[in-house]
Structure 1
Amino acid sequence: METQSSSNNNINQNKEKEWRAEEAIAGNKAALEALRELITFPLLYPFEAKKLGLKWPRGLLLYGPPGTGKTSLVRAVVQECGAYLIVISPHSVHKAYAGESEKSLREAFAEAASHARLGKPSVIFIDEIDALCPRRDSRREQDVRVASQLSTLMDANKHSSTSLAHIVVVASTNRVDAIEPALRRSGRFDTEIELYTKKLPLEPTVDLQAIAASCNGYVGADLEALCREATLSALKSLEGNEDMFCLTTEDWKHARSVVGPSITRGVTVEIPKVSWADIGGLKDLKKKLQQAVEWPIKHSAAFSRMGISPMRGVLLHGPPGCSKTTLAKAAANAAQASFFSLSGAELYSMYVGEGEALLRNTFQRARLAAPSIIFFDEADVVAAKRGGNSSNSTTVGERLLSTLLTEMDGLEQAKGILVLAATNRPHAIDAALMRPGRFDLVTSIFYCAICSTTRFGGSV
């Protein structure tokens, strides 16, 4: 357990220029404001709260992938507000002997209470709460006792006197669904919030908007690594003339090729190198795909302004070897979208539920890496018609189809995600996928050898 006290005894209103958490943490404005309000509002509006009978919320849960700055955000806001910080981590609480873990929690809350009685806001920060208080179905007896003790302490804090109104409990996790649900109810963690480098000299021709657009799925730690790699690239090209230090577009391109988004590690994801020019013919089909894939991503502001809902799914069907997969990759490259590819062989597993979990995980990563395209090769295997025989493979197929339908319906709230599918047998795909709102565009691909040869001569 770690404690930290700000050098200021109280929030200093007399500074000429007050330090703000934004100077240390870029972005995540909603989380910054929520934590600020949680710490400062009981101090700023005590009489109004008493008059209205208002009970201030005491808990905040921050969740997001590793490297998004959850811990740094808490430390920055605590420093800004002049609060007292107590950090609890799983390794500091989990002890060898029964009862010691609960004792550590009680001591942390008692320490926070002693500072709150002196009128100083106290923040108890629980890092990796999913490891400390996992769900009931996946934890040991010790975890049950720790979760029960934490719930008791948070409830006691909620019902405490006004003299202890300045204790706030903040927790962070990478896996919000792995936390004990009882802790996520109102009165405990009331608020849940999902969660860039400065002063680098840039060449005037550097287009930061274009660089930002190419960083799909990058979290704060990834952006820090990207800036560091770009700086190292610029330093290597100085040749002893340090006065000329400046980051160029080439430095950023090099850094982008070296540093990838951490959230997509462990899955097949790329921005393909295939372009429209690599595919001969199919002019009308290319135009349709540009309108369905490129336009909603490149002109999202115009779509939003005019109230146009982009397509959520496109199905390509045609005989083998007619460039269905190549067309999907070219569309992803033109839109500069992350490309996730899944096939029936990857989704069918000997273990129950493994295929559905992979499907859900792919959609989750696609949301984090948006704009992105999820491509299903051999879609007739993944989304076969329901009914018929009741063998084990059919049961697996029905579970996969149900998961796919649920995830595609969830894309209505997501932005910048499109499902592309290819098949040789469109008649074998379940009818539920063929309606508007799922596969909005269904198009066939047929090469005409005579027409193609006439148009392109001997190049085709």
Structure 2
Amino acid sequence: MASMAMHYLVEKGTEYARLAVELDKKGEYEKAIKYYKAAIELFSKYLSLYPDNSLADFYKDLIAKYKLRIEILEKHMEKASAAGGSPGDVSKDDVEILMPDKRSNKKKFDDLVDLEDVKKALKRAVIYPVKTPHLYPLGWPKGILLFGPPGCGKTEISIALANEINAALINVSPATIMSKWLGESEKNVAKVFNKAREIASSGTPVIIFIDEVDGLFQEYSDEVGGEKRMRNQFLMEMDGLKEKENSKLPLFVIGATNKPWKLDIGFIRRFEKRVYVPPPDREVRKALFKYYIDKLSSVYKADELDLDKLAEMTEGYSSADIASIVKEVQNNIAEELNERQDGKASGSVERRLTMEDFVQVINRRKPSISPKMIEAYKIWYEQHGAT
């Protein structure tokens, strides 16, 4: 009975969502909003009844996307009404591409403090084949999986890799694929790869970056038809990259995940290179503290800090954790100076950074990485790692 209720909510919600998308495309926005709301209601009911289901996060993302779409449509209709016109078209780009000259993040490998082994693996798998394709008559890996704890730089190093080779970057997420084109998600997958092949054929390298790839490629016991078709399309497209006409294209699919053990074995095989992105060790944590504190030293004096001690205190902390710690110290001191009205409009101030400033923040902030988590990654790497 519970299974029937689950499938009814999912199937009916999917039906309403598909209707909403069709009406949205036709410009019938008022009706589209009605069906988006109906889909949200059913998916919300599904989440309240089955909060621990494997698809719970997926439907949460879906609901968020539909709410955002409703907000956009309502604002658009209000503006059209105020102007005395018709709603007109609310366009949506099929494939969002970040070309090298359009990216605000210009960091390259040398700008990243850590992840030397990961950089080396990506040079072998991507940079060298792009720079010297004639040295690879047998082709090169097209799928690379980056796995490891959250906040350790998987997305950051993927962007840096794109900058290293001046690649076009196509960002893909489970929520975008499934919510924006519900009912024809497999067509959207094909659009992504068709556009990527078109750009790569012109000589510009392309990286299709899939964040939280486990959301697309894990094995679901209760997946619905649209999800299965989308997943199969991804398999076909990734296999197609190895075919003769595509094998020499500078086109790469990079997936990032915090949960590699959730991936279906069929998808694991498509990612020929599987690279562990580890948490920072003690020396790297020290280098990270130095990197961020050096940025603060243009304003605050920072010549009496024990970086070794800070590195020792932050065992189990991710790179993102350390960045947040230093930023929180900055915010605390800025607040203190503002409260005393002792800050200057520009330039340095007399306030020194002290160890106590950092100790207080570290004591309030727990590490995001546990030894148990690290052990799980090590076990998975022993079984599936391929660098």
**Which amino acid is 1:225 matched to?**
S
Q: CA deviation at 1:368?
A: 8.7
Q: CA deviation at 1:82?
A: 0.8
Of 126, 130, 136, 2:214 maps to: 130
1:183-332 aligned at under 5 Å gives the runs: 183-185=267-269, 188-195=270-277, 196=288, 197-198=291-292, 199-201=295-297, 203-238=302-337, 239=340, 240=342, 242-263=348-369
Question: Deviations 1:100-120 (Å, cap 9, x if unpaired)?
Answer: 111111111111111111111
Secondary structure of the residue aligned to 1:60 is strand
Q: CA RMSD in A?
A: 2.9
Residue 163 to residue 171, structure 1, CA distance change in 2 (3 Å):
closer
Name the structure 2 match of 1:60.
Answer: 144
Which structure has more strand as a fraction of its residues?
1
Residue 98 to residue 251, structure 1, CA distance change in 2 (3 Å):
closer
Question: Deviations 1:63-100 (Å, cap 9, x if unpaired)?
Answer: 22322222222122212321001011111111487751
Q: Is the 8 A contact 1:133 1:143 kept in 2?
A: no
Q: CA deviation at 1:171?
A: 0.5
Indicate the percent of aligned positions where both proteins have the same amino acid: 28
Structure 1 Cα separation of the partners of residues 181 and 246 of structure 2: 35
Is 1:21 paired with 2:117? no
Residue 212 to residue 47, structure 1, CA distance change in 2 (3 Å):
same
Q: CA deviation at 1:366?
A: 6.6
Name the structure 2 match of 1:84.
Answer: 168
Residue 97 to residue 125, structure 1, CA distance change in 2 (3 Å):
closer
**Which amino acid is 2:114 matched to?**
G
Residue 236 to residue 19, structure 1, CA distance change in 2 (3 Å):
closer
Q: Is the 8 A contact 2:186 2:233 kept in 1?
A: yes
Residue 163 to residue 150, structure 1, CA distance change in 2 (3 Å):
closer
Q: Normalising by structure 2, what TM-score?
A: 0.60
Is 1:168 paired with 2:243? no
**Which amino acid is 1:20 matched to?**
K
Q: CA deviation at 1:138?
A: 5.6
Structure 1 Cα separation of the partners of residues 239 and 246 of structure 2: 14
Secondary structure of the residue aligned to 2:317 is coil
Is 1:178 paired with 2:277? no
Structure 2 Cα separation of the partners of residues 110 and 160 of structure 1: 16
Q: Is the 8 A contact 1:59 1:168 kept in 2?
A: yes
Structure 2 Cα separation of the partners of residues 167 and 149 of structure 1: 17
Q: CA deviation at 1:248?
A: 1.2
Name the structure 2 match of 1:30.
Answer: 117
Secondary structure of the residue aligned to 1:262 is coil
Residue 237 to residue 94, structure 1, CA distance change in 2 (3 Å):
closer
Greater CA drift, 34-43 or 110-119: 34-43
Q: Is the 8 A contact 1:134 1:143 kept in 2?
A: no
Secondary structure of the residue aligned to 1:229 is helix
Name the structure 2 match of 1:286.
Answer: none
Name the structure 2 match of 1:49.
Answer: 136
Structure 2 gap ranges (5+): 1-94, 278-287, 383-387
Secondary structure of the residue aligned to 2:241 is helix
Question: Deviations 1:17-46 (Å, cap 9, x if unpaired)?
Answer: x963332x3312222333344332223222
Q: CA deviation at 1:175?
A: 0.8
Is 1:121 paired with 2:121? no
Q: CA deviation at 1:245?
A: 4.1
**Which amino acid is 2:97 matched to?**
T
Secondary structure of the residue aligned to 1:205 is coil
Secondary structure of the residue aligned to 1:41 is helix
Q: CA deviation at 1:127?
A: 1.3
Which structure has more helix as a fraction of its residues?
2
1:149-164 aligned at under 5 Å gives the runs: 149-161=233-245, 164=248
Question: Deviations 1:140-178 (Å, cap 9, x if unpaired)?
Answer: 333322221111111110124267520000001111111
Higher relative contact order (CA 8 A, sep 6+): 2
* Greater C-alpha radius of gyration: 1
Greater CA drift, 241-250 or 118-127: 241-250
The alignment covers a number of residue pairs equal to: 259
Of 122, 127, 142, 1:40 maps to: 127
Q: Is the 8 A contact 1:128 1:171 kept in 2?
A: yes
Q: Normalising by structure 1, what TM-score?
A: 0.51
Q: CA deviation at 1:233?
A: 3.1
Structure 1 gap ranges (5+): 9-17, 265-362, 370-406, 414-460
Structure 2 Cα separation of the partners of residues 236 and 138 of structure 1: 51
Structure 1 Cα separation of the partners of residues 154 and 355 of structure 2: 30
**Which amino acid is 1:365 matched to?**
M
